[in-house]
Amino acid sequence: MNDQLALAAEWLATSRKTIAFTGAGVSTESGIPDFRSAEGLWSRYDPAEYATLGAFLRNPEQVWKMLAELEEVLNAEPNPGHRAMAELEAAGALAGIITQNVDGLHQAGGSKTVVEYHGSGRTFSCLTCRASYTRAEVKQMERPPRCTNTVRGGACAAILKPDVVFFDEPIPPQAIARSAQLMQGAELVLVVGTSCEVYPASEIPLRVRGQGGRIIEINLEPAAGLAPHISLLGRFSEIMPALKSRWEGMRA
């Protein structure tokens, strides 16, 4: 591990453009279970019934039974791995992060350039009148939260939807465009806390490889089919600060 960590730090120090691609594993150490784990939401809620736009349109009250539980776990705080990534960005070593997570922990940890590929759990929208709400505003509402926007002299009152990408929704065009911009010219991608099984996000590290870039994996277990150049297996909250420390030592 020490040799691999030293080599990873060397690659980070010499890369002209490095990006990160992150998944649920960076948040589990902050107390947010992986949706697919034994304790995850999908062990109690069938995604087909609770995590599609079609299900929300048919029965938003039912879907909000699951969303209310999701809201509780989103109260988590960033861990040392999140903060180490933010510090690397501030120092110019990391151009930005493309994340599959909707929890906002990268931003809470200090990261500035974050593409939320699957949307955000920090904002909500009314599908009827298109009004937007922050999470702080929605937390003050009864469940399920309803739109308070005035429409034709009265409140809209439609049930709000979080701005997350449900399973039957397309990836937002802005997220695709911003991801492509970040990937352009990337010589190194840190693939962190993801099994790389969810399409089309799983193609992101492969596209960096396809343009001649290298892949450094940071995971508890190897991601199937990723074939990284370097694999650092262990806890995100430990390995990312250690990588940052090694990188700083090379610059001293």
Annotated catalytic residues are: 118
Strands 132-134 and 119-125: antiparallel
For helices 173-183 and 203-210, give the axis angle rounded to 10 degrees.
30
- Tell me the three state secondary structure of residue 182: helix
For residue 21, the cross-strand partners are 98, 191
Distance of alpha carbon 42 from alpha carbon 63, whole angstroms: 13
Distance of alpha carbon 120 from alpha carbon 122, whole angstroms: 5
Asked if 51 contacts 57 with a C-beta cutoff of 8 angstroms, the reply is no
